[in-house]
Structure 1
Amino acid sequence: MAKGRKSPKSREKETDWQERVVQIRRVTKVVKGGKKLSFRAIVVVGNERGQVGVGVGKASDVIGAVKKGVADGKKHLVDVPLTKSNSIPHPANGTGGGAKIMMRPAAPGTGVIAGGAVRTVLELAGVRNVLAKQLGSGNPLNNARATVNALETLRTFADVAEERGVPIENLYA
């Protein structure tokens, strides 16, 4: 293969990821000469097949901030176990800063019942049926991080059975 060329497999992997900008904020820093303007972008990156990450990027221009946010999001990916109905395996709670998130699995056809940054994170994780509620804070960054925190705590029956060292059939009894 020619030097510098990527195999079709790796190229397909890169285009696999979807990015959604949750918030762009103009932030200022007061320095000796006045105020220094920069932009903060909160970006959610996911492949809609069980992997999602939240990233934050800061730069003097919006495009640079979004690029940095995407790179940061890819560094902080979490794996989400999905059920056959594209829901979560069990209810979960998560916290991030002052934000609390409560999530419950839902029946097929329910859709993503969530608001703001929580909806974006769940959609890019590949969750199709879920009920979620933000509690405590409306801050998009904290809510996104709280959602990722809740998704990290999810475990499947197989995981629990393996941890306990018993066959899966014994869990149902």
Structure 2
Amino acid sequence: MVNVDKQNKKNKKEDTDLVDKLVGINRVAKVVKGGRRFGFAAIVVVGDLRGKVGYGTGKAKEVPEAIKKATDDAKKNMVKVPMKEGRTLHHDMKGHYGAGRVVLRSAPSGTGIIAGGPMRAVFETLGVQDVVAKSIGTSNPHNMIKATFDAFKSMYSPRNVANKRGKKVAEIFGNESKEINQAAKVE
């Protein structure tokens, strides 16, 4: 019993750190014998403003219930995105899902978030301060968000690349080879 209470407190503490943004709500109608039955579908983005973000969808007969379901789904599907200096992306990347294509570019300090609609919500909840993003193709929020998350899959920090190759971070950037070449030229 004590372990369950500790787990619940831990989950509540994690939930308070999260920020959620409602991206869109669709009203859908089912035509039945007596008329139309309306339902609502919501898409929500949740993040901790420190590099973790997730998205989720929910459907229900009432709007608040659809938003709650979408938020719960988003919390389950969170991913960690490495960030450069805690403010921008490490490198440029492309992502696609269906007809949605996105291009994400790192930006210098002070640029801000230059992105449209659903992508802006993703970056704001992720905690990115400087980024340039372009949506090419569909403007469907579902496909734009899924394409953005597809681009995040190809994001690697220099530390991750160095660990995979068994090298140091400086070797990845080629700093040591430049120093060796300069030393050779001097001699």
Taking structure 1 as the reference length, the TM-score comes to 0.91
Higher helix content, 1 or 2: 2
SS at match of 2:13: helix
Instruction: Tell me what 2:77 maps to.
Output: 76
Residue aligned with 1:123, SS: helix
Helix, strand or coil for the counterpart of 1:142?
helix
Partner of 1:26: 27
Q: Please tell me the root mean square deviation across aligned C-alpha atoms, in Å.
A: 1.9
Q: How far does residue 161 in structure 1 lie from its aligned partner after superposition? A: 1.2
Whether 1:148 and 2:136 are equivalent positions in the alignment is no
Q: Which runs of 5+ in 2 are unaligned?
A: 175-187
Q: Superposed, which structure 2 residues align to 1:79-158 within 5 Å?
A: 79-84=80-85, 86-158=87-159
Q: Once structures 1 and 2 are overlaid, which stretch shifts more, 57-66 or 162-171?
A: 162-171
Match for residue 14 of structure 1?
15
| Native 8 Å contact 1:121 1:148 kept in 2 | no
Deviations 1:71-104 (A, max 9, x none): 1111211111011151000001111221111010
* CA distance in 2 between partners of 1:99 and 1:136 (Å): 5
Unaligned runs of 5+ in 1: none
1:47 partner amino acid: D
Q: Which moved more, 1:12-21 or 1:56-65?
A: 12-21
Write the letter of the residue equivalent to 2:22: V
- Pairs aligned (count): 173
Offset of 1:6 from its aligned partner?
6.7
TM-score (norm 2): 0.85
Q: CA deviation at 1:54?
A: 1.0
Larger Rg: 2
Which residue pairs with 2:170 in the alignment? 169
Aligned to 2:179: none
CA distance in 2, matches of 1:77, 1:7: 19
Moved more, 115-124 or 78-87: 78-87
2:58 touches 2:68 (CA, 8 Å); kept in 1? Answer: yes
- Residues 50 and 86 in structure 2, CA contact (< 8 A), matched pair in contact too: no
Amino acid at match of 1:108: S
- Shift of residue 167, structure 1, vs aligned partner: 2.1
1: CA distance, partners of 2:62 / 2:71: 15
| Percent of aligned pairs with the same amino acid | 40
* Bigger relative CO (Cα 8 Å, ≥ 6 apart): 1
Task: Give 1:126 deviation, angstroms.
Answer: 0.9
Structure 1 segment 57-68 matched on structure 2, within 5 A: 57-68=58-69
* Distance (whole Å) between structure 1 residues aligned to residue 148 and residue 93 of structure 2: 9
**Displacement after TM superposition at 1:40 (Å):** 0.5
User: 1:118 Cα shift?
Assistant: 0.4
Following TM superposition, by how much is the alpha carbon of 1:12 offset from its aligned partner in structure 2, in angstroms?
A: 2.5
Name the SS of the counterpart of 2:69 in structure 1.
helix
